[in-house]
Structure 1
Amino acid sequence: MLVNASKFRNNPPMKIIFFANTDWYLYNFRLGLAHYLSNQGVEVVMMSPPGDYGAQLEEQGFRWIPLPMERRSLNPLAEWKLLRFIRSVFRAEQPDAVHSFTIKSVVYGGLAAQSAGIPNRIHAVTGLGHVFVSNTPRARLLRPLVKRLLKLALRGSRSRLILQNPDDRQLFIDLKLINPNHIHLVKSSGVDTEVFVPTRHKRGKRFRVLLAARLLWEKGIREYAYAAQKLAIHAEKIEFLLAGATDPGNPSAVEENDIRIWQSSGLIKVLGHVDDLQYLMREVDLMVLPSHREGVPRGLIEAAAMGLPIVTTDAPGCREVVDDGVNGLLVPVGDGDALAHAIEYLLNNPDKCREFGAAGRKKVLREFDQKIVFALTGEVYRELGLLP
């Protein structure tokens, strides 16, 4: 689409609201995109529930609007009040577009923007979340409602949907949730390959395996614990690390009692939330993510950029990062035995680890560098006339 750049010269700058369900997400995954748009002359306003990162967003030069949003709430009255609050913000701000991230924000952002008369809506679904991935009674009950709400939120000729993997794209098409021509595939939120670089790490006495993710069962935490128990016979040669915080707002959150058992038994070294994951990845030998489904996991991309071999599942999103037998190994979803076997194989084959790590770095440079992601996202904005 050709856009007349002259119309951008004499008018006020475009204003985009970034809306997500946590300020942590905006800071860690979308700050680079916000700076990219800001450098294009766009005013980016951040909106999320309050947390520890709102002030840091403001320190980066972005106005941040705290939102009274409970991620786990199912109270109809509270949710209706929240929707009206979001609509009031949109009416007061009068942005040129709303860019929403994660499913709940996509639904509420899309519905509120339509009600507030905001024509341009960009929706980024980075993973289908608990409602679509889990088979718990609660998830099965909510799924039809969420589908209907998504279809309403995504409607309109100036609505665009950004997905991270082709499996999710096909699912949205099969469910007839949006015009297929309005779907764009952008793999991940990208990584800065000038920051995430390989290091000259040498193996220590123990082979260090890392799983870094929110502590949700759907991330494959149960399978990871099983693999650690099965490989306990190699305890003098291998160490299992688990980095991530519990997520009380998610129905799939790992119970605190399980975490205490793993920690006290010495089966897994539980690190909790790690601010500097990059530093931690310099000290490990293998990155693992046995997730059941993802958008495209940023942690795996960062690990590959740093030259780490990867073991992950042959699941949507995960297999986008790993070419099986080239830069890592793919195992079946939910198969703790296969996960243990893959980890043991790399424990015993250091040359293969180096080979996988080098190939992973090349793949990230080719497919996941943040410059590529920013350019592809910029094309979505240009299609709506939001960038020259």
Structure 2
Amino acid sequence: MPDAPRPTLLFVVTEDWYFRSHRLPTARAARDAGFDVAVACRVAKDGPAIAAEGFRVIPLPWRRGSFNPLSALGDIRRLARLYRRERPTIIHHIAVKPTVLGGFALFLAGLRDTRVVATLAGLGLGLSGTGTKAALGRVLLRLALNAAGWRRGQALVVQNSDDAALLAAGWPRPPASRLIRGSGVDLTHYEELAEPLGPVTCAQVSRMLTLKGVEDLVAAVRLARAQGTDLRLILAGAPDTDSPAAIPQATLDTWAAEPGIEWLGAVSDVRTVWARAGIAVLASRGGEGVPKSLLEAAACGRAIVATDVPGSREVAVEGRNALLAPPRDPEALAAVLARLAQDAALRRRLGLASRGVVDPEFGEAEVGRRMRDLYLGLVTPVPVPRRDGGL
């Protein structure tokens, strides 16, 4: 008798670099559990690295950052054709745009037996706000989830409790969501580091975007230094030229010319950053999923300063391993940074606690195991009880 065909898992994500950075451990866990894995995404420089893992890469010409009706309709039709051609056992939509467009595409494709996982990797400012645009975005998200058939046992994954509550608010029959915090951090790769010697240095590892609060952080460090705190700042991350929120290259160069500020650009191994900086910062202006940069910093034993926004609070725990500041408030952020820079004992206490926050719940192995079990649960038949009560 021939072997049963392997179930197929199709990831749908906007960018190849994001999949490689955040989702490879989950894909490996699925492969090792017996799935054939394919990845549909916009392909740039990281496509070959994904293919080298044994995953089939399917190019998608996403119009990044665009939700205008004409381009969205084109993306939906393109996805529907892909779904009809591939007929995967499970489709995993990652982030808001693939979830919204992919949900409508699945309905259009008419694949009633395909299982769907939707991971909302942070609702961000676009959906977590209180304005009309954010409310409309949440309505579209709910319609897309309905179109994908979550009422038929599909899986909705959120990365923080704030997003779970926001999705449920005002929804007559909210979908059951699973809380799986983040995409995981390699706890063997990121080991606790000794606190650096020399002047106190803080660092933010992120894309150089306004939404990440980089401008607020630069302003805060300027204030702290002007008020007498000897504090240095390292910015690590590339300018994301495809994003409308990108900070211009000229601005980054100007900052890097200032005393006490260093911009490294893209860094291949962020452990080199945390070897130099004793304070990890993420000054995000809006909701995150669970920021991987903070997970990596916490695994390295760094004290954290973060803005008090969804997602960041999952790993930056006020008073335990972190100090929080309100978003979009450079003055408050400067005060928190100055306090930590001037208190070596507090830095040590928070840094020593950081590793315990992420280990083991945020580890790659734990996140991969939970996602693997979710996939297997969707394809494993549930025994139907007999009338006599047996199985």
TM-score (norm 2): 0.89
Identity of aligned residues (%): 31
State the Cα RMSD in Å. 2.3
Q: How does 1:1-388 map to 2 (within 5 A)?
A: 10-116=3-109, 117=111, 119-132=114-127, 142-155=133-146, 156=149, 157-176=152-171, 179-181=174-176, 183-204=177-198, 206-233=199-226, 237-266=230-259, 268-292=261-285, 293-385=287-379
The answer to whether the 8 Å contact 2:191/2:300 transfers is: yes
Q: Retained in 1: the 8 A contact 2:88–2:114?
A: no
Q: In the TM superposition, what is the alpha-carbon distance from 1:64 to its structure 2 partner?
A: 0.5
Give the whole-Å Cα distance in 1 for the aligned partners of 2:352 and 2:181. Answer: 20
Query: Do the aligned residues in 2 keep the contact of 1:14 with 1:386 (CA within 8 Å)?
Result: no
User: Please, which runs of 5 or more residues in structure 2 have no aligned partner?
Assistant: 383-391
Greater shift, 236-245 or 32-41, is seen at 236-245
SS of aligned partner of 1:225: helix
Q: Give yes or no for contact 2:229–2:338 (8 Å, CA) kept in 1.
A: no
Larger CA deviation: 294-303 vs 156-165: 156-165
Deviation at 1:275, TM superposition (A): 2.0
Q: Residue 145 of structure 1: CA displacement?
A: 4.3
TM-score, length-normalised on structure 1?
0.89
Q: 2-side partners of 1:29 and 1:334: how far apart?
A: 27
SS at match of 1:358: helix
What is the rounded CA distance, in whole Å, between the counterparts of 2:172 and 2:160 in structure 1?
16
Partners in 2 of 1:341 and 1:387 — Cα distance? Answer: 56
Contact 2:167 2:174 in 1 (8 A): no
Aligned length, in residue pairs: 374
Whole-angstrom distance in 1 between the partners of 2:243 and 2:122: 14
The one-letter code sitting in structure 1 at the alignment partner of 2:223 is: K
1:278–1:351: structure 2 CA closer, same or farther, 3 Å change rule?
same
Aligned position for 1:5: none
| 1:247–1:60 distance in 2 versus 1, CA, 3 Å | same
Moved more, 185-194 or 141-150: 141-150
List alignment gaps of at least 5 residues for structure 1.
1-8
Give SS of 1:99's match: strand
Counterpart of 1:13 in structure 2: which amino acid? Answer: R
Q: Conserved in 1, the CA contact under 8 Å of 2:160 and 2:314? A: yes
Q: Measure, in 2, the Cα distance between the counterparts of 1:274 and 1:86.
A: 33
Structure 1 residue 74: Cα displacement: 4.2
Deviations 1:271-314 (A, max 9, x none): 22222222222221110012132111111111001111101122
Contact 2:207–2:240, Cα closer than 8 Å, also in 1: yes
